[in-house]
Structure 1
Amino acid sequence: MARPPQQTGFQPLDREGLVQRVATLLTKAIVTGQLAPGARLSESVVARELGVSRAPVREAARLLENSGLVTYYANRGFFVRETSAEALNDLYELRMVIEIAAARRVIRLGLDETVDKLAAQIAELHRVADQRADMLTQVEADMQFHRLLCAGSGNPKFLHVFEQIAAETEFSIMVIGRLYDDAHKIAETHEPILDAIRRGDAEAAEAALRYHIGEAQELVTRQFRDLEAARRPT
């Protein structure tokens, strides 16, 4: 007896911005665990459930491959990437380099509009904490602060690289389940970064970013190593 086709719960889409919209849906499915690490990304299943052809699904999968969320194997297709503690450690090192450079540029150029946007995003982080929002909403609000820093630096290359690694960063945090017990702690850890940028103190901004990103790096990689150890056969 034939097995029923795999179901993922996707809803049909219209044609506007199709590839990017498919990529956004797939990214959310991976980040939230709807598509688990190591799972095959079936183009035919996704296309059927979204009501599109396989071509935009394939293009979207290529975008996810560029962002580090999926891997392509010849003659087998796309699979959700299974990351490692070492790979995530490298990822956070890259973030640190980019964001420190972005902060220094904001200070050097006196980009007050960026400072205002960062302050507004910290307020949004506190609002999300007050509402006891789900983990994905918290993580997205967190990453938006860092996106605004890179975008507001005036160097589009910083934002380009950040966008390539943002989804993988969100994915890593969602896999381990949390960073802090108190959601307000997430907001508070961004405040020293903003304070240093507002004062025009590049050294203090770098130190604050090194502490903030480094703390997340240590928490994520430690918990990923614990997960890896738990999965090893005894």
Structure 2
Amino acid sequence: MDMMRRAVITGRYAPGQALREETLEAEYRVSRGPIREALRLLELRGLVTHAPRRGFRVRTYTVKDIEDLYRMRALLERHAVECLRDAALDALVERLEASNARMATQLNKGNIEGYLAENVTFHTLVIDASGNEPLKRTLNVLNEMAEPLRYALLSRNLKKGRSLADHRRITELLRSGRIDVAASTTEAHILDNLPALLALADKL
């Protein structure tokens, strides 16, 4: 499934493209059963869709889809940071700093996939530290659905490294215990991508 997931996220399988089991079976050289299971898992993760008689297709994103997804992510990730008020932050800050360092390395290499992976790691560390399991499960789904959007945006704007700058700012705010400011900065960090993503909507 990992190779198929990567193909969806990176756009090798284009939005709206039909994913025919027989074609995938030949491409990955595995039997139909594992292919079907992988497609079902990708459907659960929100990366592909399925319809009777049409089969599986790579998810497409309308303007409303993008706006709904990012506004919900921003709201819930803000709450995840707010949940850190009673948490021990030293260990979290140390992990975030390590993620930021790895992210900077990937940025310098121009490695979109590596940069994106560390971007996800940063957000996952904060969400996990919130200790809110329903929130964690919900955001895991939303963040997975956002992966192709993030990749599409980064492939055009990687050199700017804005996400890394925001992550460093959030890390410093958490280090100083300024939870409310860190929460609002997290929300703004996610919503800042909306205009650029909406401009790409016809390509997604």
Note the residue ranges of structure 1 that are not aligned, 5 or more in a row: 1-21, 229-234
Between the aligned partners of 2:87 and 2:150, the Cα distance in structure 1 is 33
Pairwise CA distance, 1:184: 3.6
Between the aligned partners of 1:222 and 1:49, the Cα distance in structure 2 is 33
Q: Deviations over 1:69-117 (max 9, x none)?
A: 1110102211111111210111111211221121122232224322221
Between the aligned partners of 1:67 and 1:91, the Cα distance in structure 2 is 14
Between the aligned partners of 1:95 and 1:47, the Cα distance in structure 2 is 35
Q: Where in structure 2 are the equivalents of 1:20-59 lying within 5 Å?
A: 22=1, 24-59=2-37
Quick one: which amino acid aligns to residue 146 of structure 1? H
* CA-atom RMSD in angstroms: 2.1
Q: Where in structure 2 are the equivalents of 1:79-158 lying within 5 Å?
A: 79-133=57-111, 135-158=112-135
Higher RCO structure (Cα 8 Å, ≥6 apart): 2
Q: Deviations over 1:29-68 (max 9, x none)?
A: 0111111111111112223333332222212212211222
Give yes or no for contact 1:43–1:57 (8 Å, CA) kept in 2: yes
Quick one: which amino acid aligns to residue 134 of structure 2? K
Which residue in 2 is equivalent to 1:68? 46
Give yes or no for contact 2:87–2:129 (8 Å, CA) kept in 1: no
Note the residue ranges of structure 2 that are not aligned, 5 or more in a row: none
Pairwise CA distance, 1:176: 4.3
Q: Is 2:169 the counterpart of 1:195?
A: no
Q: Deviations over 1:108-167 (max 9, x none)?
A: 22243222211111111111122222x222222212211111122222333322221223
Which residue in 2 is equivalent to 1:174? 151
Quick one: which amino acid aligns to residue 84 of structure 1? T
- Superposition TM-score, scaled by structure 1 size: 0.78
Residue correspondences, number:
204
Pairwise CA distance, 1:198: 1.7
**Considering only CA atoms, is the larger Rg found in Structure 1 or Structure 2?**
1
Q: Which has the higher helix share?
A: 2
- Aligned identity (percent) is 27
